[in-house]
Amino acid sequence: MLFLGRSGPSTVYNFFMQPEPHKDNNFDFVRVAAAAGVLISHQFSLTGRPEPVMLGSSLGGFCVLVFFAISGYLVAGSWSHDPSAWRFTARRLLRIWPGLIVVCLLVALVLGPAVSQLGPRAYFASPATWDYLSQLNLWQFKSHLPGAFMGNPIPESANGSLWTIPIEIRCYLALMVVGLLGLMRRTWMLPVAFVAFAIWFFFLFKTGYDHPIRLHLQMAVVFFCGATLYQLRAAWSPYRSWVWFGSLAAILCVWFGGKPEIAYTLGVPLMVVLFATGSLPVLRRTGRFGDISYGLYIYAYPVQQTVVWLSDNRLPFGLGLALAAAITVVLAWLSWTLVEKPALRLKNRL
């Protein structure tokens, strides 16, 4: 009885075999879980503790790759359904920009002066305050606010989570170029291009593993792996169970065969997309009250920094985490209800 769904077929069957109809999938759950993972991981670092490790990466780093895998899959679908450059760009901006504008203005103009040791006049006179808002161009990352959160383990850092947004924007633009070049008109063209990109990254691109450029390119590989899985979905979706077990076996062989970076970078998007496109009865209802995942991601860091600052980092870890999470959920829901959802309604007018 544990595995029986409402209509008879087992939950295991639904997850492995059923193709995903619109919204009848696990994507909302995966997004919220990834955002929560980033929050938990940052709670360690922002309180001066080492972040938990998952598959050789920090928990936060792992969850970021989950986001990029999902994004690649869904954004490729968006382009395939409507290959218009300006409408594609408008949809991406409507999803990212409104929420980002509000959180950046709130952090820089409301929270910043309240938590800065400079005082309001010196704070607003500092060029760094206004430089923080330059990240609204979506092309650069800024987290420094002058005099903010002094005494915290990571002082003057207002929203360290936003570093991934410029990288994601570049991935969107790259996918649009790929689409304009016609590489998504035939099923095989994008997979061939992705294989070439992956071979170059893993075997020909020579940098240290801790080099920032390598990390950015790794995220692009994950993103385009998700896009390629969308392009090939008709081939693997009917055989989900075989693909899942076969992929897991291949990933383990590559990992223990001495190539953990390849196993990790390709394994994460493969397993995430296979799970997210499935349909589990409880998990597929995660987004019925709204998609708060983006709000969780962009509000958690400043909320956590504020809780640490107000408590002088003396709260027990669990209590500080619970308090920051509760405040962040409220702000994320408000962001979805008042900012993101109204902006997304404009997509229908495109």
- Which residues, other chains included, contact 129 with Cβ-Cβ below 8 Å and sequence gap of 6+? 108, 112, 123, 145, 146
User: For every one of its 350 residues, what pLDDT tens digit does the chain have, with 9 covering 90 and above?
Assistant: 233 333 333 333 344 334 444 468 999 999 999 999 999 999 999 999 999 998 888 999 999 999 999 999 999 999 999 999 999 999 999 999 999 999 999 999 999 999 999 999 999 999 999 999 999 999 999 999 999 999 999 999 999 999 999 999 999 999 999 999 999 998 999 999 999 999 999 999 987 777 889 999 999 999 999 999 999 999 999 998 899 999 999 999 999 999 999 999 999 999 999 999 998 998 988 988 889 999 999 999 999 999 999 999 999 999 999 999 999 999 999 999 999 999 999 877 76
Quick one: pLDDT at residue 98?
96
Residues 72, 68: Cα–Cα separation, whole Å = 6
Residue-wise pLDDT for 232-276, tens only, equals 999 999 998 899 999 999 999 999 999 999 999 999 999 999 999
Q: Which of 286, 287, 294, 289 is nearest to 340 (CA)?
A: 294
Residue 5 confidence (pLDDT): 35
Which pLDDT score is estimated for 109?
97
For every residue of 116-148, DSSP letters joined together read: BTT-HHHHHHSHHHHHHGGGGGSSS---B-TTB
Looking at residue 206, what is its pLDDT?
A: 83
Burial 228-258 (b: 16+ CB within 10 A, else e): bbbbebeebbeebeebbeebeeebeebbeee
Rg (CA), the chain: 21
DSSP 157: B
pLDDT in tens, 59-95: 999 999 999 999 999 999 999 999 999 999 999 999 9
- Indicate the pTM of the whole model: 0.91
**How is residue 243 annotated by DSSP?**
H
3-state secondary structure of 210: coil
pLDDT of residue 290: 87
Query: What pLDDT, on a 0 to 100 scale, did the predictor assign at position 1?
Result: 28
